[in-house]
Structures are given as C-alpha cells and as structure tokens.
Amino acid sequence: MSDTSSSSLVVRECLVKARAGDPAARDRLFAACRSYLGLIARANVQPWLRTKVDASDLVQQTMLDAHRDFHRFQGESDQEWLAWLRQILNHNACDAARHYGTADKRAVRREVSLAGNLTDSTPGMDLPSPDQSPSQLAIHNENELRLAEAIDQLPEDYREVIILRNLQRLPFDEVAEQMGRTRPAAQMLWARALEKLKSLLENQGE
C-alpha cells in the first residue's frame, strides 16, 4: 500500500481513536492532514497576502488551534473533519488579512476544493454531490488527500503553476506575470506540471 493511500486510511481510522482519547492517534491524524492543509493555505490566500503571511505559519496556527479545540469537534466522518480544519484555516487567513489592513473578503477564498478545481485536468477528481453516498464521499476525500500529497511532491515551480492556474483560477497572463515568465513559457510549465502530477497519481494508484 502506498504512503498516500495509507494517509487516507489514517484519517478515517485515527479520527475514531483520537476522539476516544488516544493521543498517538491524534498525532497521526494531524500529520496525515499537514500536506492537505499546506496546499489549501497556499491556494486559499490571494497573492498580495502571501507576500506578508507564509502559508506554513497559517498551517501551524491552524494545527495549534485544532489541537486546542479538538474536544469541540462534533463530527463523525473524515468529510466533516476536513471541513472543520478548512474552517479554522479560513478563519486564520481572514484574521491575517484584517491584520494587514483590509476587510476585503476577496483577500481570502472562502472555499477551495482541490479535486473540484483539478477536474478538467485530472480525470476522476470530481466535486462531491449532496446526493452522493457515504462511500462516494469517502472516495472524494481520499482523492483530495491524494492530490494534496502528490502536489506536495512536485518541484516548487510545478506546485506554483498548478496553484495559480487550477486552484486560484488565474488567467495565464497573470500566472506568467507572477512567475516572471512569458505566457507561452507559463503554459508549457503548466502542461508539464499536470503530466508529472498525473504520473504521480497513477503510481500511487498502483
């Protein structure tokens, strides 16, 4: 079994044990979600704020808050757990935006779906439907975790172009400007990044 597949199982299994009071299971639960939170943090904040707040700081604060308030988590499923973590992360990102002098809600994206925003480029990574069964939702959550961990393995420029283009939905002109490249170079980099991502996901599937 691959490390990424194991991480998906860890979230489901350790959530139950952690809520029963197992501290080791809680540590494993948080560790399994770190890559996911890191990517959400980078995708969730507009470029101007990213120059002031490091995504890793947002993740660290979110982990600390979630550890502190773990007893307040009322959900039962991995879907509810990931949603709870995203809510805390979003709250911290909004606090950072206010700290640096803006109340503009556009400074922070209210919700980022890794799988949904990569649907067009990565087959099988679809947004969840309200009509989906628990098993289908579990597959979606596993896809989100798999995507986060796969993207985390990419070279930095590949990660950046996917975040800007697929997760922040920026046009290629803006992607190119932010990355200091020409538009054709940014498009070529994006295509290569997606090919590498697909390769990683296929290997994980094996």
Give the pLDDT confidence of 63-80 residue by residue, as tens digits. Answer: 999 999 999 998 888 888
Question: Is residue 172 in some structural domain?
Answer: no
Question: Is residue 135 in some structural domain?
Answer: yes
What integer pLDDT is reported at residue 122 of this predicted model? Answer: 42
Question: Is residue 167 in some structural domain?
Answer: no
DSSP assignments along 64-132, one per residue: HHHHHTGGG----SHHHHHHHHHHHHHHHHHHHHHHTT---GGGB-S---HHHHTTTTSTT-PPP-TT-
Q: Is the dihedral of CA 171, 173, 175, 178 positive or negative?
A: negative
Mean pLDDT rounded to a whole number for the chain: 78
Closest by CA position to 205, among listed 60, 59, 4, 31: 4
Work out the average pLDDT over 160-171. 89
Question: Is residue 178 in some structural domain?
Answer: no
pTM over 0.75? The answer is no
- Helix 55-68 to helix 78-99 angle (10° resolution) is 120
b/e code 167-186 from CB counts within 10 Å (16+ = b)? bbebebebbbbbbebeeeeb
Question: Is residue 166 in some structural domain?
Answer: no
Count of the separate structural domains present in the chain: 1
Which residues is 45 bridged to in the sheet? 108
Q: Please report which confidence band the pLDDT of residue 48 belongs to, taking 50, 70 and 90 as the band edges.
A: low
Question: Is residue 84 in some structural domain?
Answer: yes
Question: Is residue 64 in some structural domain?
Answer: yes
CA distances from 41 to 20, 29, 108 (A): 29, 18, 10
Q: How far apart are CA 179 and CA 182, in angstroms?
A: 9
What integer pLDDT is reported at residue 24 of this predicted model? Answer: 93
Residue range(s) defining the domain that contains residue 87: 3-154
Please tell me which of 37-51, 53-67, 129-143 the model is most confident about, judged by mean pLDDT: 53-67
Residue that the structure tokens 């538009």 belong to = 183
Query: Interior CA angle at 160 toward 159 and 165, to 5°?
Result: 105
Q: Which amino acid is at 178?
A: Q
Cβ–Cβ under 8 Å, residues 95 and 33: no
**175 CB-near residues (< 8 Å, 6+ apart):** 161, 164, 165, 186, 190
Closest by CA position to 67, among listed 34, 42, 96: 34
Q: How far apart are CA 110 and CA 56, in angstroms?
A: 19
Question: Is residue 187 in some structural domain?
Answer: no
Query: pLDDT of 98-124, one tens digit each?
Result: 877 654 545 455 455 555 555 444 433
